[in-house]
Amino acid sequence: MPRPIIAATLALLAALSAAPADARGMQARIDRVVTPVATLEQVRVRVDWPAGASTGELQLWAGRVDAPDLGYRYRDLHWRCPLQRDGEDGWRCEGALRSGRSAPLQLAVRLDAATTHASLGQGKARIALDRDAASPDLTTIDLTRVPAQWAQALLAKAWPEARFTSGELDARLDIDAAAGRPLRISGPLALRGIGLETADASIAGEKLGGRFAIDYRTTPALSLLAVDGELRGGEFLAGNTYVALPASPVGLRIDATQHAGAGWELPRIEWRDGDALAAVGSARFATDASLQALDLGVHSGDMAPLRQRYLSGWLGLFGMGGVDLHGAMDLRVQVRDGLLQVADASLDGVDLRDPEERFVFDGLQGDVRYSAGAPVQSELRWNSGKLYGLEFDAARLPFASADGLLRFREDAVVPLLGGRMTFRDLTIRPPQGEAGADIRFGLVLDDIDFGRVSEALGLPAFQGRLSGTIPNARYANERIDFDGGLSMQLFDGEVAFSSLALERPFGSAPSLSADIALDDLDLLPLTEVLGFGSITGRIDGRITGLRLVDWTPVAFDARFITDARPGVAQRISQRAVQEISSVGDASFVSSLQGQLIGLFDDFGYRRIGIGCRLVNEVCAMSGLHSANNAFTIVEGSGLPRLGVVGFNRQVDWPTLVERLTAVGTGEVKPVFE
């Protein structure tokens, strides 16, 4: 800062004014110069003024300059400038100011008995200082296009972990350093393109702008800060909270207090972003800047801008970064000792839609209340919704909360596709400290129309009813694990699911794992639905170790084999033979001449069996039995006796999928061998 340098020269210039006219030079050594703002040590001042000359030269050296209240420390300062008279009792001097190996700054000083004016500049950046003898304890500083990094030392006083990375400041600050009173810095401040970050990168900002009135007071025991104004544009990240500020002004007020050896307390926080978000509250931080206490009330009359401006970071954690929000919301949050104590959310006509329609909730109404202490109750309702294309009807969720848990106080029933889905014993433990959210529940599916499920998911027109019970399910670390299983009555048989687990259900590349058992399915309606020719009989099967990533199979071990039952005919159509051959890289043989095969519409069979073990996009094929590289898929029965044998046990999975798709669309052309 130029003020302590100026103070060190005043006495010498006064002596020079009274010196004989033929004086050629004067110098002084000063061990210590103390001002209310800064202390200089190891000071030397030298003036050379040749006899009869109109100008002289001033040089000043300072080994140490410390301004602890402002956070500045300099070493090895040297200022050299041409010294000139300015009026009868004034002086002016302008020259380079150097400190160690840093780039020089241009320091200009003009002073007389009543006023002091100084400016410090580099390029387009300029700091100007004014002081009047009538008010010696008051100094005014003007900042014009000053790089934010120049204020780093002052920032470090209030926030040691942070540093400026870019941007400029404009300001007109009054510094009151009267003895016996707190140092006070106050005035208007403008920011342009400010960038900052903390050492651990947990907080960062870019292109922040705004205008504020600031009032900062500090003593060794207490610091007070008041900021009131508006932000204009930019973005910042604080933990998982990402904020992208709009171009329109966002009002901000912060009152802050810090006692010696303690963290900052913010008795008043105000955030005003039109109808999108208004927040009022208070907070307290530990010395390491961790949140210790928070009381915050939030209102949004129009939730549409919230995702883009404020919620994308948190929603992204759950794979919902692109969700659309509409409606109104009120929220109250209370944190004590770093732990959530109260969270009350009230929703009014809220619509929540995922652009990919993985989930949709229309007409969310009611409230959800969480308490870490005394019991509270609440209820949330919706008009309709959709989950991965499966539509569900209006429902209500009856909540109760106490002792840090949010739970259902009774079963919640959701009408779903002609049946119902019932949630039992749901409990939610919100994230606390290092532990993430933990959700546990039971699930009952009762008489759901699987035909409508198939239609919604774009599957073949399967018909049947879906029922089952999952006694316990748990969501933690972006993974849902299900105990128990689900079963479907399908094609007059049963399909049972077990070992179900779902990772990142709404995130990128969701992953599903399961085991599936098929028991006594009627092949005729199954093959007709699949467009796979016609096969009569019954079939059993299993699919173990199934793993889907982004709903695409990447691993499984599957095997299907017919199940002979008395009185049930086992016939296979000519088209089905051809399509099995196409899918399995197979050929068929007959006891009659090949050219006569076309005379028959179907054939008897004794057994059909086929398997695929998928690893690294290669399907290891198998059948009823194997010999060398061949495997039998169909064993014939009666006349004409027909068998289907595969000859390629390693099949590229994408190629196999193409063949199955071609079968379903009827694009396979018969070829006889």
What is d(CA 591, CA 599) in angstroms, rounded to the nearest whole number?
Answer: 14
Please report, as a single letter, which amino acid is at residue 461: A
- Give the pairing of strands 552-562 and 138-147: unpaired
DSSP helix/strand/coil, 585: coil
Specify which residues 527 forms β-bridges with. Answer: none
Residues 293-328 as b/e (b if ≥16 CB within 10 A, e otherwise) read bbbbebbbeebebbbebbbbbebbeebbbebebebe
| Surface-to-core class of residue 522, CB atoms within 10 Å of its CB (0-12 exposed, 13-18 middle, 19+ buried) | middle
Helices vs strands, H then E, count in the chain:
8, 45
> 665: left (phi > 0), else alpha (psi -120 to 50), else beta?
alpha
pLDDT in tens, 135-160: 888 889 899 999 998 878 767 766 77
Tokens 């919704």 appear where?
A: 385
What is d(CA 103, CA 147) in angstroms, rounded to the nearest whole number?
Answer: 14
User: How is residue 305 written in tokens?
Assistant: 């801008």
pLDDT in tens, 155-177: 776 677 889 999 999 999 998 88
Q: Which of 82, 78, 81, 94 is nearest to 42 (CA)?
A: 78
pTM of the model: 0.73
> 147: left (phi > 0), else alpha (psi -120 to 50), else beta?
beta
For residue 71, the model assigns a pLDDT of: 61
What is d(CA 363, CA 374) in angstroms, rounded to the nearest whole number?
Answer: 30
Mean pLDDT by 10 residues, the chain (673 residues): 49 49 71 75 88 86 78 82 87 89 87 85 88 84 89 74 91 86 91 92 92 92 94 90 92 95 94 96 90 95 94 76 90 92 95 86 95 94 88 93 93 91 91 78 88 78 80 86 81 88 80 93 86 87 92 92 88 80 54 50 86 91 82 80 79 78 50 36
| Surface-to-core class of residue 400, CB atoms within 10 Å of its CB (0-12 exposed, 13-18 middle, 19+ buried) | middle
> 389: left (phi > 0), else alpha (psi -120 to 50), else beta?
left
What is d(CA 111, CA 127) in angstroms, rounded to the nearest whole number?
Answer: 16
For residue 327, the model assigns a pLDDT of: 96
Check: CB of residue 167 under 8 Å from CB of residue 133: no
Angle at CA of residue 263, ends 262 and 265, nearest 5°? 115
Check: CB of residue 236 under 8 Å from CB of residue 250: no
DSSP helix/strand/coil, 652: strand
Q: How far apart are the first and last CA of the chain?
A: 97
